[in-house]
């Protein structure tokens, strides 16, 4: 069998926090590439609950539990530049994006078109969320957790604990919903 170039994909996101929905897309993306780089975006405009360093660490811990599915190497890297520049720096030929609902498609479609203009050598691949993960979003997880709801089925345990700790800190500072 002839040697072929390593297929590198980038799965970008804010991951504030990483959820079981993200992990589902990551696991499925490992079937498409030889190496998957999870790009954790600075994205200060979204006002993340966790710092970039915390989001990278939580994502690394959550991904480590996956144990290299499908023989794919997975790494987590922060980035603050244009996604297509980051992908090119990583040697990626593919951007992986997850879609939960039709409402995600329009934005992602426009973004894929812009990205193709910036670098036509990098393709965008969309993976539909699995039925069990379609409703999970970081925003909802944070809201449910902040209000004392059970989020154990939406996030890995390490993330559940980090959220509980963060919400306890907020409450102690008088910032939480019960303050």
22 is catalytic: yes
Among 28, 77, 100, 171, the active-site one is: 100
Among 55, 138, 142, 146, the active-site one is: 138
Binding residues for ATP, as ranges, are: 14-15, 22, 98-100, 108, 133-139
Among 22, 55, 160, 166, the active-site one is: 22
Four-CA torsion 116, 129, 107, 35, nearest 10 degrees: -30
Binding residues, as ranges, are: 14-15, 22, 46, 83, 97-100, 108, 133-139
Q: Give the 3-state secondary structure of the chain.
A: CCCCCCCEEEEEECCCCCCHHHHHHHHHHCCCCCEEEEEEECCHHHCCCCCHHHHHHHHHHHHHCCCCHHHCEEEEEEECCCHHHHHHHCCCCEEEEEECCHHHHHHHHHHHHHHHHHCCCCEEEEEECCHHHCCCCHHHHHHHHHCCCCCCCCCCHHHHHHHHHHHHHHHHCCCCCCC
138 is catalytic: yes
Among 31, 46, 85, 132, the active-site one is: 46
46 is catalytic: yes
Binding residues for substrate, as ranges, are: 14, 46, 83, 97
Catalogue the active-site residues. Answer: 22, 46, 100, 138
């Amino acid at each position: 069998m002839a040697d072929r170039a390593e297929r590198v994909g980038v799965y970008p996101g804010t991951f504030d926090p990483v959820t079981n929905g993200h992990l589902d897309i990551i696991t499925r993306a490992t079937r498409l590439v030889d190496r998957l780089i999870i790009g954790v975006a600075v994205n200060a405009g979204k006002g993340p609950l966790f710092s970039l360093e915390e989001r990278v660490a939580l994502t690394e811990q959550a991904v480590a539990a996956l144990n290299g599915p499908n023989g794919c190497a997975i790494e987590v890297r922060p980035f603050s530049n244009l996604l297509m520049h980051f992908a090119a720096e990583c040697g990626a030929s593919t951007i992986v994006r997850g879609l939960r609902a039709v409402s995600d498609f329009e934005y992602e479609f426009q973004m894929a078109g812009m990205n193709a203009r910036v670098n036509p050598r990098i393709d965008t691949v969309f993976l539909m969320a699995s039925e069990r993960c379609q409703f999970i979003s970081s925003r909802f997880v944070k809201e449910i957790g902040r209000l004392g709801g059970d989020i154990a089925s939406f996030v890995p345990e390490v993330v559940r604990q980090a959220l509980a700790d963060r919400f306890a800190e907020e409450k102690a500072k008088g910032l939480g919903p019960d303050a």
